[in-house]
Copies of this chain bind each other. A is one copy, B any other.
């Protein structure tokens, strides 16, 4: 399987769930996030952390990327980092991020550990999880906080709770767009979808949410269930029809452009440069 950067799908796996870990390589996700945070009870943290590099080795059989979500509080986070900064782990998901400084302090700590472990400084990349209303006015500074940061994602359940709202598409679309726009300004990947991540009972509903995510500008999403992986991989992959249409549009544009007509038409729409570039981006994604 080819690794896609940025990822279409990132599957969360509780880092103490041996069954899930062993089956991971069959799930076809572009990456796996071994979770040390919410899915691990407080008194399991130490053992789970001790076994995490072994778990990573199992997950890695898939050929996909292995990530770890650390805990939010500094005391657990520091010990998590000392255990997991390692060549096996390509990126770390930081939960409950509400400031640029939070990321910078974590990044500095990672740098220290990379040096001690004689890894290249900067090897370990970061994903910031936005989960509190406090973070919303600071999205731009968070997105630009560190060269390690490669994506920002929304913890829809936690964020909705802190706003006092239901995690419905109608309520989430506004906050999602703010995250997407901040990511695009900082040139990092926005990941997520405007729906509850925990609702995997209805594949059609999830499919709709994923398609909307794709349309409003997300580049992929984290998920918690294998069904979600499949849908995400398919939604964030261009269709045959899209590919053909994109190829035709580009050719049509080039032809008319060379003839000097300037404003060109395709399928009864005026085509100008941005439309052509969107088609080119689509083809690039196909060839990753």
Chain A residues with a Cβ under 8 A of chain B: 14, 16-17, 38-41, 44, 73-75, 77-78, 82, 98-102, 104-106, 108-109, 112, 133-134, 136-137, 140, 155, 157-158, 160-166, 168, 170-171, 173-175, 177, 180-181, 184-185, 190, 196-201, 212, 215-217, 219, 224-225, 257, 260, 262-263, 267-275, 277-278, 281
Contacts and interface: CB of A to CB of B under 8 A. Distances in A.
Query: Does more than half of chain A's interface fall in helix, strand or loop, or is it mixed?
Result: helix
B177 A171 contact: yes
A191 B106 CA distance: 29
Contacts of A275: 157, 161, 198
A272 B39 contact: yes
A170 B214 CA distance: 13
Contacts of A17: 262-263
Copies of this protein in the assembly total: 6
18 contacts: A14-B262, A44-B260, A44-B262, A133-B181, A133-B184, A137-B140, A155-B274, A160-B274, A161-B277, A163-B180, A163-B181, A163-B217, A164-B184, A164-B217, A170-B215, A196-B269, A199-B269, A225-B270
Nearest to A137: B140
Contacts of A16: 262
A257 B196 CA distance: 21
Contacts of A171: 177, 215-217
Contacts of A190: 164
Q: List 3 tightest A-B contacts by C-beta distance, closest first.
A: A99-B101, A101-B101, A165-B217
